[in-house]
Amino acid sequence: MFTEETARANGEGGTSGADGYMVLVIDPVTGHADCYGPYDDEAQARERAFWRRLEFDVADLPDVLIGVVPWHAEGDRPGC
C-alpha cells in the first residue's frame, strides 16, 4: 500500500498540489479504514494524528496504523 515509491509517484515530497491533508487510520486486524480531515496544513494534521494515535494506544490497539496523507480535491463538490 504505502511504499518508498509513493512520494516519488506524486512529485517531490509526495504533496504535489495538495489541497490539504487527511489523517488516515487503518486497522490491519479488521481491515477497516477511515480518514479524518481535510486539514489546511500538514502540522495540524500531524497533531490530530498524534492524538488519534494516543486514543488507540489507550484502547490497547497498537496495531492500528495512522498516517498523514496529502488530499487532492476533485471537481466542484461542496467543500472542495
Euclidean distance between CA atoms 16 and 13, whole angstroms: 7
C-alpha cell at 72: 487532492
What's the chain's average pLDDT?
Answer: 83
Sheet strands (E) in the chain: 20-26, 33-39, 65-71
pLDDT at 66 (0 to 100): 96
Q: Is 46 exposed, middle or buried (0-12, 13-18, 19+ CB in 10 A)?
A: middle
In this predicted structure, the answer to whether residue 15 has a pLDDT above a threshold of 80 is no
Specify the pLDDT at position 78: 52
User: What pLDDT band is residue 1 in, cutting at 50, 70 and 90?
Assistant: very low
